[in-house]
Amino acid sequence: MTLRGNQPTGQIEFGLRSDEVVTRALLNLSFRPSPALLPTLSQLKVYLNDELVGLITVTPKQLGKENQTQLAIDPRFISDFNRVCFELVGHYANVCENSANSTIWLDIGKESGIDLTLQKLPLKNDLSHFLEPFFDTRDTRPLTLPVVLAAQPDGAAACRRDARLLVRQQNRLARAAVPDAL
């Protein structure tokens, strides 16, 4: 993901299953700022669900080089659907800047990611939430759905077909939810 002076923002999105809660969150960020940026005046702002969670001030040693940093994120900010936004505040001159100048950029590397420590929530024995926990639209991981059938149940073929359709749908959602930018 490349942030530029005239397009200074970028974002990634991720979901959280309804039967899980985050107890710890850590953003591992790999980035490369333009060598033309003014250090200390240029910054990268990081937002989670529209809350500022981190500010990285570009230093002279970071300019033009690959850098890694970690930001601890308050897990209370994480909900079932989440958006991490990055905003570049880039400066290349002390006066009369042009935001479209090609020297204003910052690359966020593909090695970046969010490490979440999850805790499973106890589930109530309540069919009103069915298909959960087997199928959760916010879960982007491939679905593995165990199905147990009697030796010769009536409609066994229909049950197998429905189970396969459910797995395919969850796997399609998982592939669609993986961002290409990061």
Of 29, 177, 34, which is closest to residue 102 (Cα–Cα)? Answer: 34
Asked whether the predicted pLDDT for residue 134 surpasses 90, the reply is no
Please report, for the chain, the start and end positions of each structural domain, with discontinuous segments joined by +. Answer: 2-120, 127-177
**DSSP assignment letter at 65:** S
User: How does residue 165 score in pLDDT terms, banded at 50, 70 and 90?
Assistant: confident
pLDDT tens digits, one per residue of 46-96: 999 999 999 999 999 999 899 999 999 998 888 888 899 999 998 888 887
Contact 99, 6 (CB under 8 A): yes
Q: What is the pLDDT of residue 181?
A: 46
CATH architecture of 2-120: Sandwich (2.60)
Q: What is the pLDDT of residue 182?
A: 47
Strand ranges inside the chain, DSSP E:
2-4, 9-15, 20-33, 43-48, 51-57, 67-73, 81-89, 105-108, 113-120
Of 15, 7, 77, which is closest to residue 47 (Cα–Cα)? Answer: 77
The helix or strand, by DSSP H or E, that contains position 78, with its residue range, turns out to be none
Q: What is the pTM of this model?
A: 0.68
Mean pLDDT of 101-107: 88
